[in-house]
């Protein structure tokens, strides 16, 4: 699957976002080594702190289904009813991704148009926290 196709899957997932409090919708599409794609969207909560980001929904889905090695993640986010813009993953999601993904993981970000910006997880999270 190429970066454009993966980003399209993220944009589709973004349409399922439950974001009545922030009005900011996010979709993620995580490509496993098996070739399977796991999507996620942000799911907010009236109590705020239980809110889960799109990226973590996607990775938790994947790991819970037995896949724990990944090659790329695409992310699209933005205000409701506006074109998907760049939405770099938050710090918590970077740390969660780093538990399972290599520093070379491609992070494909929507750019507000038809294109994408591609970074690596290592560039987004140098010196990740790890035990020992």
The token duo for 79 is 């205000």
Candidate ranges 8-16, 17-25, 65-73, 117-125; the one touching ligand THU (CB under 6 A): 17-25
User: Judging by DSSP bridges, how do beta strands 24-32 and 37-41 pair with one another?
Assistant: antiparallel
Using CB under 6 A as the binding rule, whether residue 51 contacts ligand THU is answered as yes
Q: Show the binding pattern over residues 58-77: x = contacts ligand THU (CB under 6 A), - = does not.
A: --------------------
Helix (H, G, I), strand (E, B) or coil at 35: coil
Distance, in Å, from the CA atom of 42 to the CA atom of 32, rounded to the nearest integer, reads 20
Radius of gyration of the chain (CA): 14
Helix (H, G, I), strand (E, B) or coil at 28: strand
DSSP, res 98: H
The token duo for 65 is 């289904």
- 55 in active site: yes
Candidate ranges 2-10, 62-70, 89-97, 111-119; the one touching ligand THU (CB under 6 A): 89-97
Catalytic residue among 5, 12, 44, 55: 55
Residues within the interface to ligand THU (CB under 6 A): 19, 22, 24, 26, 42, 44, 51, 53-55, 89-90, 93
Catalytically annotated residues: 55
């Amino acid at each position: 699957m190429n970066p454009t196709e993966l980003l399209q899957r993220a944009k589709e997932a973004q349409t399922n976002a439950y974001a009545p409090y922030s009005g900011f919708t996010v979709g993620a599409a995580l490509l496993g080594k098996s070739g399977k794609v796991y999507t996620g969207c942000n799911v907010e909560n009236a109590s705020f702190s239980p809110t889960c980001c799109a990226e973590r929904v996607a990775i938790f889905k994947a790991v819970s289904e037995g896949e724990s090695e990944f090659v790329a993640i695409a992310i699209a986010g933005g205000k409701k009813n506006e074109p998907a813009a760049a939405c770099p993953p938050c710090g918590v999601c970077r740390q969660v991704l780093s538990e399972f993904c290599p520093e070379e993981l491609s992070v494909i970000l929507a750019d507000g148009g038809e294109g994408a910006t591609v970074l690596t997880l290592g560039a987004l999270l140098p010196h990740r926290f790890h035990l020992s």
